[in-house]
Amino acid sequence: MKTRVFLKSAAVLAAVLAFASAQAQTTPIKFQLDWRFEGPAALFLTPAAKGYFKDAKLDVAVDAGNGSGGAVTRVASGAYDMGFADLAALMEFHANNPDAPNKPVAIMMVYNDTPASVMALKKSGIKKPADLNGKKLGAPVFDAGRRAFPIFAKANSISGVQWTAMDPPLRETMLVRGDVDAITGFTFTSLLNLEARGVKAEDIVVLPYPDHGVKLYGNAIIASPKLLKDNPAAVKAFLLAFAKGMKDVIGNPAAAIQDVKARDGIINVALETRRLQLAIDTVINSANARAEGFGQVNGPRLSLMASQVSDAYGTKTRVNPDAIWNGSFLPSKAELNVLPKK
């Protein structure tokens, strides 16, 4: 009897030790999204739900955000290890905080083109960028499209624009009411928000920045330099698991939205599926992304963006493109082959 009890106790102890060993080998990563749990959040929630991060010995906690600027500062503060943020916001942080000890670095490009656009109602008479001269535009002060508007304006010889600031939930409402002539915002956000307010798609004019001379990159995965230095293997494992999940999301957006709904049960599934598909079609599986390769950047284009952001954002110092990008953690080209043919 004593022998059986001893063997049972030994088995339990062995199981506990094995579990503890497995836990010790798992790297916890706190990940900050740029926005709420909407369609594009599936890019990160799906690999988590499917266990790809877990299989890579990572314990990834994905939290909703409230803007790219917040994602950058939270990673910089050490509160988060990694995040998802607009590359222009990252550049601005670097140039305005040259002495910051923990400046995040972009390690994988996800939105190869900026999702920013100008949107107006057809009844306004605005059909092309030149029609924006002297018009009243609206957007939150931190909106990526508004911040980068000087680049759009320069590329299209626009002048005399007057800006009205508002909170994000009021942006599309103010356009519908006629309080402003046009708004800036992410296409896959504001377009669907306008439709939700009763505006038909055919009555909306969309002027995407990439279609009108603006070659800015959009959102990238960012990481703290501490994580890059202390655990490069975990960073590589994260990007590989993410790329695997990306292929699933692109292949079946409708299924991926269920992973978003699991985190926020009140989302409109049909709407968020459309939002995710719009993001895939416009900024993920874009012509530039297919030309440069998913996850990667083009050196001259990155340098041009650094110069444009320095000017448009009026940064304290010039943006150094070499300081904000590190592509050495990316998976192989074969592993990054996630984009379907157009």
Please give the average per-residue pLDDT across 56-75, as a whole number: 96
Q: Tell me the C-alpha distance between 69 and 255, whole Å.
A: 30
Give the pLDDT band (50/70/90) at residue 53: very high
For residue 80, report the phi and psi dihedrals to the nearest 5 degrees.
Answer: -130, 150
Angle at 218 between CA 215 and CA 221, to 5 degrees: 140
Residue 217, helix vs strand vs coil: coil
pLDDT tens digits for 303-324?
A: 999 999 999 999 999 999 999 9
Q: Tell me the C-alpha distance between 120 and 139, whole Å.
A: 12
pLDDT tens digits for 176-231?
A: 999 999 999 999 999 999 999 999 999 999 999 999 999 999 999 999 999 999 99
By C-alpha distance, which of 90, 121, 130 is closest to 107? 90
pLDDT tens digits for 142-166?
A: 899 999 999 999 999 999 999 999 9
User: 10 Å Cβ neighbour count for 75?
Assistant: 30
Q: Tell me the C-alpha distance between 179 and 170, whole Å.
A: 11
> Which residues, in sequence order, are bridge partners of residue 118?
184, 207
For residue 143, report the phi and psi dihedrals to the nearest 5 degrees.
Answer: -60, 135
Question: Are 140 and 172 spatial neighbours (Cβ–Cβ below 8 Å)?
Answer: no
pLDDT in the model for residue 21 = 47
Would you report the helix, strand and coil content of the chain in percent, each value rounded to 5? 55, 15, 30
Give the pLDDT band (50/70/90) at residue 22: very low
Residue 78 has pLDDT above 90, yes or no: yes
Average pLDDT of every residue of the chain: 93
User: 10 Å Cβ neighbour count for 290?
Assistant: 14
- pLDDT > 90 fraction of the chain, expressed in percent and rounded: 91
pLDDT in the model for residue 12 = 56
User: 10 Å Cβ neighbour count for 154?
Assistant: 15
Residue 171 has pLDDT above 70, yes or no: yes
pLDDT in the model for residue 1 = 55
Give the pLDDT band (50/70/90) at residue 18: very low
For residue 279, give the DSSP letter. H
Q: HSE-up of 64 (CA within 13 Å, CB side)?
A: 9
Give the pLDDT band (50/70/90) at residue 20: very low
Give the pLDDT band (50/70/90) at residue 2: low
Tokens coding 251: 């292949």
Tokens coding 249: 């999301």
For the chain, domains (ranges, CATH) are 24-112+217-324 (3.40.190.10), 116-212 (3.40.190.10)
Q: Determine the residue type at 154.
A: K
Q: Exposed, middle or buried: residue 138 (CB in 10 Å: 0-12, 13-18, 19+)? A: buried
* Contacts of range 155-158, beta carbons closer than 8 Å, 24 or more positions apart: 155/212, 155/213, 155/214, 156/129, 156/130, 156/132, 156/212, 156/213, 157/130, 158/129, 158/130, 158/132, 158/133
Q: How do strand 182-186 and strand 136-138 relate by DSSP bridges?
A: parallel
pLDDT in the model for residue 341 = 76
Angle at 33 between CA 85 and CA 172, to 5 degrees: 80
pLDDT in the model for residue 25 = 86
**127: part of which helix (H) or strand (E)?**
none
pLDDT tens digits for 96-117?
A: 999 999 999 999 999 999 999 9
pLDDT tens digits for 225-279?
A: 999 999 999 999 999 999 999 999 999 999 999 999 999 999 999 999 999 999 9
Strands (E), the chain: 27-32, 58-63, 82-86, 105-109, 116-121, 136-138, 162-164, 182-186, 204-208, 219-223
pLDDT in the model for residue 24 = 58
User: 10 Å Cβ neighbour count for 202?
Assistant: 6
Q: Tell me the C-alpha distance between 72 and 324, whole Å.
A: 12
